[in-house]
Amino acid sequence: MTPSQEYEPLDVDSLGARLAGVEILSRKVGPDASAWRVREVGDGNLNLVFIVEGPVGTAVVKQALPYVRLVGDSWPLPLYRAFYEYHALTRQAARDPGSVPEVYHFDEAQALIVMEFLSPHVILRRKMIAGERVEGLAERIGTFCARTAFRGSELSMESGAKKADVGLFSGNVEIPAITESLVFTDPYFDAELNSHTPGLEPVIARLREDAALKARVQRMLMSFASNTETLLHGDLHSGSIMATATEARVIDPEFVQYGPMGFDIGMLIANYLMAFFSQPAHRGDDPAAYQGWILETIEGTVASFEAEFARLWTTERTGMLFPACLFEDQGHSSEPAMKALLRDIWSDAVAICGIEMHRRCLSLAHNADFQEIEDTALRARLEARNLMMGRELILRTETVPDARALTAMAREFNER
């Protein structure tokens, strides 16, 4: 396949012939494309994902579709998003080596990325629904969030390079627009693509009649849309992490954009909290003990984020912001400035967390943690706890000064 060929979606029958000329696939999978076994396994909302197996090894081929897969061709979506995903993966790999799958090949015209097959990894959300622990999860992902946040900002980058990169990613307009509506706007009015579990109507009415809540969410949207602090993953939930019992890797950064440093970690914590609230309805061995592990994971993730951020502050603060010539060189400690910044990041993360907890129950694209609960009365009860805690996080962010306060609040809402 040459890059100049017109875009055409792959399928399991055509993939071998069409990608036979991709040299790295011959090396990673096997030289004879007719011997490749191809499966389409995409279970996300947007793309085709193929696993290609051969006598030498296995690789993944991810291809963008020109529409939202979850909805169909009534919702067109530009293929150029694959370009931004590719550039996000290369930046994440450089900023936190080993955290993301290795990219083998990118074809812009076909909107496809050939990458490392992670095995025996499975999607973290599936593991959490099944009540399975992942050793080292908190440290791995907290560190990822800190390294990508710090190293993607002017704390580390030279000012011109950062501005140029903001310019590059600003071409990605349709993908942030999805988040702007599905996450920040649709949950708070009767949007066309919304759905919810029957029985939640009184809770939804309470959220939508709260002008202070909606105003606070819109302030967060303003920050998300216009604050270019760092390069975000942009969709860091438990479906964007693949894990074994002892290892975790981050995948799927196609929602990459510049945004506030607290966004990724806030979205991640929200998804851990939804695993927490939904766990009693699933078949884990000991749901209460597993819920305890989830809360420990949240606290550990934030602790790892802050520890790594502080380490980078001391060892890698080479960018335009908070330069040593204003602090250490003059005998001043920059630590209070770092602590104040971490407080602001946490405050954004708490509010984003509450908003994500709302959108996954009210807007399009619900998560399996709740959706797979067949007893809708039970699902509504558990979702209501999640929605009401989300409200508290958005409206009373300042009453949640740290991760311990957040997990204590989760325990309290879990009893309601």
Sites of contact with ligand SR1 (CB under 6 A): 45-46, 68, 70, 178-179, 182, 235, 255, 364-365
The length of the chain in residues reads: 416
- Report d(CA 230, CA 330) in Å as an integer: 28
Of 113 and 409, the one with the shorter C-beta distance to ligand SR1 is 113
Residue 58 contacts which entry, Mg ion, ligand SR1, none (Cβ below 5-8 A, type-dependent): none
CB of 195 to ligand SR1, least distance (A): 13
Task: Kindly tell me which of 267 and 302 has the beta carbon lying closer to ligand SR1.
Answer: 267
Q: What is the rounded distance in angstroms from the CA atom of residue 291 to the CA atom of residue 288?
A: 5
Closest approach of Cβ 333 to ligand SR1, in Å? 40
Binder of residue 238, out of ligand SR1, Mg ion, none (CB less than 5 to 8 A by kind): none
**Which of 70/340 has CB closer to ligand SR1?**
70
Residue 270 and residue 409 in contact, taking contact as beta carbons nearer than 8 Å: no
Which sign does the torsion angle of CA 330, 336, 342, 348 carry? Answer: negative
C-alpha torsion angle, residues 342, 344, 346, 348 (rounded to 10) = -150
390-402 burial by CB neighbour count: b if 16+ within 10 A, else e? bbbbbbebeebee
Q: What does residue 12 show for φ and ψ, rounded to 5 degrees? A: -60, -30
Task: Point out which residues bind Mg ion (CB under 5 A).
Answer: 44, 252
Give the one entry of ligand SR1, Mg ion, none that residue 365 binds, where binding means its C-beta sits below a cut-off of 5 to 8 angstroms depending on kind: ligand SR1
Q: How far is the CB of 250 from Mg ion (least distance, A)?
A: 11
Alpha-carbon gap, residue 120 to 11, rounded angstroms: 24
131 binds, among Mg ion, ligand SR1, none (CB under 5 to 8 A by kind): none
Which amino acid appears at position 255 of this protein? F
CA distance 153 to 359: 28
Task: Please give the structure tokens belonging to residue 382.
Answer: 């558990």
Instruction: Decide whether 56 or 71 has the Cβ nearer to ligand SR1.
Output: 71
Spell out the residues 6+ positions from residue 28 whose beta carbon is closer than 8 angstroms to its own. Answer: 56, 57, 58, 59, 104
The distance of closest approach from Cβ of residue 183 to Mg ion in the complex, given in angstroms and rounded to an integer, is 13
Cβ proximity to ligand SR1, 19 vs 129, nearer residue: 129
When CB distances are held under 5 to 8 angstroms depending on the partner's kind, the choice from ligand SR1, Mg ion, none that residue 413 binds is none
Could you say which of Mg ion, ligand SR1, none residue 181 binds, taking C-beta under 5 to 8 angstroms by partner kind? Answer: none
Cα 55 to Cα 27: distance, rounded to the nearest angstrom: 10
Q: Which residue is nearest to Mg ion (CB)?
A: 252
Nearest Cα neighbor of 56 from 32, 39, 34 is 32
Strand ranges for 42-89 from DSSP E: 47-53, 58-64, 67-68, 72-76
Q: How far is the CB of 265 from Mg ion (least distance, A)?
A: 17
Cis check: omega of the bond before 198, within 30 degrees of 0: no
CB of residue 68 to Mg ion, shortest distance in Å: 11
Which is nearer to ligand SR1, 46 or 250 (by Cβ)? 46
Residue 277: contacted member of ligand SR1, Mg ion, none (CB under 5 to 8 Å, by partner type): none
CB of 363 to ligand SR1, least distance (A): 8
Nearer to Mg ion, 44 or 319 (CB): 44
Name residue 113's beta-bridge partners.
62, 106
Taking the complex as a whole, the smallest distance from the CB of residue 31 to Mg ion amounts, in Å, to 32
